[in-house]
Chains A and B, each alone.
Chain A
């Protein structure tokens, strides 16, 4: 299948910094794609190039197989930046209409779509209110509606859940799934790894302007697994270190659960066999895959000192 968005060798240098330094990846149609990275990694610069706000210094962006032309393709993109806001004194209905028209919708078309979304999110009564009357969560919802209103092929959400309560976060999350199901492609940029794990199919991790990880969530977890297993038993004191595995210090909330790291080249079934032979009553036995959070920290931590040193110059 042809990717919707394809970045090849993108470069963007600022006066003092290589913000994006030769990054390439593809995003499949209809996928929910996570763009991850620590603060200052170059995520926002990357997104600004994808949305046509910045021109790359080198490299190429292809949208739907064709060279990306910001002027023509802007209609196909919905971007909710991290630094987002609205005119405080402007009425909400007029504001939505204004921004939709700037996206290229006709007035009648924009009106119809706004009505649809306002109804869907139960926002009809907001029409004549001003943004300053809205809570943070409410204006976040409005932001989301404005972003997806013109039915773009590519939706880019930068930290979409910040400031939302779980109820509203779920509302938006469901809508993201819905849009993806209908064929929209979603780029999702965040620091919140548990959200990425829950929502994204595919992720790319960038740090210091370079791509350091690219793959599906499941593949990456497999790639970074460390042969750690959790054994739950009614008699945890019976389990001791041996040639097959060593017990990890990491405590679990459940005192009957013990984490063990298998020795090199030991198959997990051998451990199970050993436990049965020792007549240890097993409640559960399963492999523990690393969380994206762990992987993120592991990959970024090493470079952290470097980033600091860079800033000190």
Chain B
């Protein structure tokens, strides 16, 4: 055991001391923040304005289609499909002759094709106009309609989960985001640290140091020491990321102007239920930050982070030993590594695809099976857990999933160790899958 400890130390320090490790530790959180801010910025900024010429034979829709940021409707004369572009319009909308409640085709022709969302918006606008017209015919006046439209926008769905006696505010959007993020994070790190194990083993084999070491320690100790050392590097990385993100958030909050901070404190003190006057006083940004903090606080973070670390480690151990086995049979040729890695990377990629499905429907039989089978459980279970334990994932399911994962990595480690100890000392020979299976299931 003492020797494994020496190996773990070397594997760990040689990587953590590396400049690349520090770089990744600080750059990845910055990159993530940049990515979120950047994509938000571009989705806001990157939309183009559409100027639409509406050809409306009986003038029914005039002034009924409301303009928005992106859509400007105009009702020019002398515009048809042959000249709308020349006259400076991006699209032309051809209305049928309106005949009450008959179904009719509305034709949109564009210079450049229009996104699905915008098309949806236009057809909604047309339908609203028709609806208004019908209501008006039924005797409801325009100003009443307007006021109804305005006051009907106030409903906000607040969902609660009933857990025994107390009910808890639930937030499907946040759950989905957390589930998605943790699944993705496990997916990425599994690849990063899995291939790190693979390259470490290949390095020992191609540098011919394996036999030197194996004459002092058992191959199993060398393999396990490497896997644990690299797993510890991964854990360190996560802890650093958590610290960096928390520090950045703290710094960000303390940089807010003093009055917003004051308002924020008031909101926190009153639990968001300020008097109408106070609520009106609080600025929009303070309310947004408060809302964000409130949503974040509804999540059971210690549980999620704890389980995340468990599933990261479990999944890593499960796959790392397989990567180690593959690394041990690869010869000098890196192309060999590619083709041998394929059967291991396939289930990882497949699990990620399942995760994306499960995140929409966390309670299907597929979701259950995928979250207890160790090949996919680390990612899929993380996606489900964010919806709530024990409401979405009962304790017994969680227990079964954790136990099968532990059993799974013990099994892969045991099988891989047998491939590894033969492979690592074999030079200049291309090993087939059949041979590897033979080594894995050989006695002793």
Residues of A within 8 A of B (CB): 15, 48, 51-53, 55, 74, 77, 79-81, 83-90, 98-99, 101-104, 143, 146
Cβ-based interface call for B68 (8 A): no
The answer on a CB contact under 8 Å between B214 and A53 is yes
The answer on a CB contact under 8 Å between B215 and A99 is no
The answer on a CB contact under 8 Å between A87 and B207 is yes
A-facing residues in B53-112 (Cβ within 8 Å)? none
| Given A90-B14, A98-B6, A98-B10; A104-B211 close (CB under 8 Å) | no
Cβ-based interface call for B151 (8 A): no
| Given A87-B207, A87-B209; A81-B6 close (CB under 8 Å) | no
Contact of A84 among B6, B211, B217, B438 (CB under 8 A): B211
The answer on a CB contact under 8 Å between A86 and B215 is no
The answer on a CB contact under 8 Å between B211 and A81 is yes
A-facing residues in B395-444 (Cβ within 8 Å)? 425, 427, 438, 444
List 26 interface pairs A-B (beta carbons < 8 Å), by A numbering.
Answer: A15-B438, A48-B425, A53-B214, A53-B215, A53-B425, A74-B215, A74-B216, A77-B215, A80-B212, A84-B208, A84-B209, A85-B212, A86-B207, A86-B209, A86-B212, A87-B203, A87-B207, A98-B6, A98-B10, A99-B212, A99-B216, A101-B3, A102-B216, A102-B217, A103-B216, A146-B212
Contact of A102 among B211, B213, B444 (CB under 8 A): B213
Interface bits B1-27 vs A (CB < 8 Å: 1, else 0): 001001100100010000000000000
* Chain A residues closer than 8 Å to B215, beta-carbon distance: 51-53, 74, 77, 79, 81
| Given A15-B438, A53-B425, A83-B427; A99-B213 close (CB under 8 Å) | yes
The answer on a CB contact under 8 Å between B6 and A83 is no
* Chain A residues closer than 8 Å to B207, beta-carbon distance: 85-88
| Given A53-B211, A77-B215, A87-B207; A102-B14 close (CB under 8 Å) | no
* Chain A residues closer than 8 Å to B212, beta-carbon distance: 79-81, 84-86, 99, 143, 146
A94 to chain B, nearest CB (A): 8
**Which 5 A-B pairs give the minimum distances between C-beta atoms?**
A85-B208, A85-B207, A79-B215, A81-B211, A102-B216
- How far is A102 from B438 in the complex, measured between Cα atoms in Å? 30
- How far is A98 from B204 in the complex, measured between Cα atoms in Å? 14
A256 to chain B, nearest CB (A): 49
The answer on a CB contact under 8 Å between A101 and B209 is no
| Size bin of chain B's contact surface | 20 to 34
- How far is A48 from B7 in the complex, measured between Cα atoms in Å? 22
Residues of B within 8 A of A (CB): 3, 6-7, 10, 14, 203, 207-209, 211-217, 425, 427, 438, 444
* Chain A residues closer than 8 Å to B216, beta-carbon distance: 74, 99, 102-104
* Chain A residues closer than 8 Å to B6, beta-carbon distance: 98, 101-102
Contact of A83 among B14, B208, B213 (CB under 8 A): B208
- How far is A88 from B203 in the complex, measured between Cα atoms in Å? 9
- How far is A198 from B14 in the complex, measured between Cα atoms in Å? 43
The DSSP consensus for interface residues of chain B is helix
B218 to chain A, nearest CB (A): 8
* Chain B residues closer than 8 Å to A87, beta-carbon distance: 203, 207, 209
A255 to chain B, nearest CB (A): 46
- How far is A89 from B199 in the complex, measured between Cα atoms in Å? 14
A11 to chain B, nearest CB (A): 15
| Given A15-B438, A48-B425, A83-B427; A102-B208 close (CB under 8 Å) | no
The answer on a CB contact under 8 Å between A102 and B427 is no
B404 to chain A, nearest CB (A): 33
Residue from B211, B217, B427, B444 with most neighbouring chain A CB atoms (10 Å): B211
Report the nearest A residue to B221, measured CB to CB. A102
A36 to chain B, nearest CB (A): 20
B85 to chain A, nearest CB (A): 63
- How far is A143 from B216 in the complex, measured between Cα atoms in Å? 14
Report the nearest A residue to B438, measured CB to CB. A15
* Chain B residues closer than 8 Å to A89, beta-carbon distance: 14
Report the nearest B residue to A86, measured CB to CB. B209
- How far is A87 from B10 in the complex, measured between Cα atoms in Å? 11
B212 to chain A, nearest CB (A): 6
- How far is A90 from B14 in the complex, measured between Cα atoms in Å? 8
- How far is A208 from B203 in the complex, measured between Cα atoms in Å? 32
A151 to chain B, nearest CB (A): 14
Sample of 5 more A-B contacts, CB < 8 Å, known A53-B215, A74-B215, A85-B207: A53-B211, A83-B208, A86-B207, A102-B3, A104-B216
* Chain A residues closer than 8 Å to B209, beta-carbon distance: 84-87
- How far is A280 from B343 in the complex, measured between Cα atoms in Å? 82
B433 to chain A, nearest CB (A): 15
- How far is A85 from B202 in the complex, measured between Cα atoms in Å? 13
- How far is A89 from B200 in the complex, measured between Cα atoms in Å? 12
B22 to chain A, nearest CB (A): 17
* Chain A residues closer than 8 Å to B14, beta-carbon distance: 89-90
Report the nearest B residue to A70, measured CB to CB. B218
* Chain A residues closer than 8 Å to B7, beta-carbon distance: 102
* Chain A residues closer than 8 Å to B425, beta-carbon distance: 48, 53
Report the nearest A residue to B10, measured CB to CB. A98
- How far is A16 from B267 in the complex, measured between Cα atoms in Å? 78
* Chain A residues closer than 8 Å to B214, beta-carbon distance: 53
Report the nearest B residue to A103, measured CB to CB. B216
- How far is A77 from B427 in the complex, measured between Cα atoms in Å? 24
Residue from A87, A98, A102 with most neighbouring chain B CB atoms (10 Å): A102
| Given A48-B425, A90-B14, A98-B10; A83-B3 close (CB under 8 Å) | no
- How far is A51 from B438 in the complex, measured between Cα atoms in Å? 25
- How far is A99 from B204 in the complex, measured between Cα atoms in Å? 13
* Chain B residues closer than 8 Å to A146, beta-carbon distance: 212
B35 to chain A, nearest CB (A): 32
A281 to chain B, nearest CB (A): 58
* Chain B residues closer than 8 Å to A143, beta-carbon distance: 212
- How far is A99 from B212 in the complex, measured between Cα atoms in Å? 9
* Chain A residues closer than 8 Å to B10, beta-carbon distance: 98
- How far is A85 from B205 in the complex, measured between Cα atoms in Å? 9
